[in-house]
Structure 1
Amino acid sequence: MIAKLTGQLITKSPTTIILDVQGVGYEIFIPLSTYFALPDLQAALSLNILTHVREDAIQLFGFLTIPEKEAFVMLTGISGVGGKLALSVLSTLSVSDLITAIQTDDTDKLASVPGIGKKSASRMALELKDKVARLNPDSAVPTQATLPDQIQDDAVSALVNLGYRPRDVKDMVTKISRDQPNSLPLDDLIREALKQLSKH
């Protein structure tokens, strides 16, 4: 199984990247937390990899930090939680927020993740309560600085990829950006938009 890959970043989007490793391009699915901290295209990049083998496909999931990978493994160990939904959780909640939500039975926060309802949130909190204690979220990934207009475009793209309607996303991102006296970092903007969108 592939556990780590180091190569050149060829393409990137909020959900996938292509990493060129000695002439072989690997498509890797990523959470937004990893996307926020990706370097520029053509730069060197090393990712922790989880290889997911299915009957019809082999998928690679990549993470900049070990806690993200460990959280992903825990999440996909829950019945009914596949790779896509686990990435959605890690794209909506930081590892620290996920740990806190599970330890405090904050099902409202867990249910704010697209694709997770109250019933699934309760099951997730119950099944992971004894497991999240060993996660160490301290190795946080820094967010790259980006121009305000580009931040809004990236936020819209990321949220649409999570399943929200483009018009709703555009309106919410514009509203949040307009209401803030200073430009929000990309991760803060997306998390605030997710919080507001989950209320509607």
Structure 2
Amino acid sequence: MIGRIAGTLIEKQAPEILIDVQGVGYELQVPLTCFYELPELNESVALFTHFVVREDAQLLYGFTTKQERALFRLLIKTNGVGPKLALTILSGMTASEFVDCVSRDDVATLVKLPGVGKKTAERLLVEMKDKLKSLMEASQGSEREFVLKSDYAPKPDVNTAEEDAIAALLSLGYKPAQASKSVSAAYQEGVDSETLIKAALKSML
């Protein structure tokens, strides 16, 4: 199993990225909460990974911390939750926000995520409570193990920011009208796509 990848970030189009490792390009899908923290293109990056093998595909998912990966693995063990839905959940909220939802039995927030119906949300709250206790205890004192430039700030791309943001939301399962409306409402002149995606997601929760 591939557990960690370190290399050069050469492509990123949420939620997919491409990392070059000594001439070999690895395609990964990452939650948007992790995508926001990626460095600029051609910078070094290291991510913890989870490898999924299906009959029709081999998929690699990337995470900035072991705890995020652990939460992803717990999510896909829940009945009715596959890798795509788990990625959507972790894109719509951070790991700590998800834990907070579970601790408060907050069904209302979870069902706002695409693909999460009331039954799935209720099942998540029941099945994840005990599992999350050990996860959060293990996460205390942990540090993110990936490379970031301390002065990194994404460069605005006004021409494509809205298109990129809408495409990212569609890939996560949001409906076209919903994605377009939320992105348009969150758009501000000069904003970069990562910031726009984050703002659009927050507006829907």
Instruction: Name the TM-score, length of structure 1 as normaliser.
Output: 0.83
Residue 147, structure 1, aligned to residue 130, structure 2: no
Residue 76, structure 1, aligned to residue 76, structure 2: yes
- Deviation, 1:112, is 1.3
Q: Distance in 1 between matches of 2:177 and 2:119?
A: 29
- Deviation, 1:131, is 1.1
Q: 1:131 aligns to what SS in structure 2?
A: helix
Q: Evaluate the alpha carbon distance shift between residue 131 and residue 174 of structure 1 in structure 2; reply closer, same or farther with a 3 A threshold.
A: same
**Which residues of structure 1 form unaligned runs of 5+?**
196-200
Equivalent residue number for residue 4 of structure 1: 4
Cα RMSD of the aligned pairs, angstroms, is: 2.8
Residue 189, structure 1, aligned to residue 164, structure 2: no
Equivalent residue number for residue 198 of structure 1: none
CA deviations over 1:27-68 (Å, ceiling 9, x no partner): 111111111111122221111011122234322110112221
Equivalent residue number for residue 54 of structure 1: 54
Q: Within 5 A, what are the aligned runs for 1:49-198?
A: 49-133=49-133, 134-135=135-136, 136=139, 144-147=153-156, 149=158, 151-177=161-187, 185-186=195-196, 188-195=198-205
Q: Distance in 2 between matches of 1:65 and 1:191?
A: 21
Q: Evaluate the alpha carbon distance shift between residue 176 and residue 12 of structure 1 in structure 2; reply closer, same or farther with a 3 A threshold.
A: closer
Q: Evaluate the alpha carbon distance shift between residue 49 and residue 64 of structure 1 in structure 2; reply closer, same or farther with a 3 A threshold.
A: same
Q: 1:42 aligns to what SS in structure 2?
A: coil
Q: Evaluate the alpha carbon distance shift between residue 45 and residue 59 of structure 1 in structure 2; reply closer, same or farther with a 3 A threshold.
A: same
Q: What letter matches 1:75 in structure 2?
A: L
Q: Distance in 2 between matches of 1:148 and 1:128?
A: 39
Q: 1:68 aligns to what SS in structure 2?
A: helix
8 Å CA contact 2:10, 2:20 repeated in 1: yes
- Deviation, 1:107, is 0.8
8 Å CA contact 2:182, 2:200 repeated in 1: no
- Mean CA deviation greater in 19-28 or 145-154: 145-154
Q: Distance in 1 between matches of 2:186 and 2:128?
A: 33
**Which residues of structure 2 form unaligned runs of 5+?**
none
- Deviation, 1:175, is 2.2
Q: Percent identity?
A: 35
Q: Distance in 1 between matches of 2:110 and 2:123?
A: 10
- Deviation, 1:110, is 1.3
8 Å CA contact 1:88, 1:114 repeated in 2: yes
- Deviation, 1:173, is 2.1
Q: Distance in 2 between matches of 1:129 and 1:139?
A: 24
Q: 2:119 aligns to what SS in structure 1?
A: helix
Q: Evaluate the alpha carbon distance shift between residue 117 and residue 144 of structure 1 in structure 2; reply closer, same or farther with a 3 A threshold.
A: farther
Count of aligned positions: 193
Instruction: Name the TM-score, length of structure 2 as normaliser.
Output: 0.81
Q: What letter matches 1:147 in structure 2?
A: P
Q: Evaluate the alpha carbon distance shift between residue 58 and residue 188 of structure 1 in structure 2; reply closer, same or farther with a 3 A threshold.
A: closer
CA deviations over 1:82-131 (Å, ceiling 9, x no partner): 11110000000111110011111101111111101000000010000111
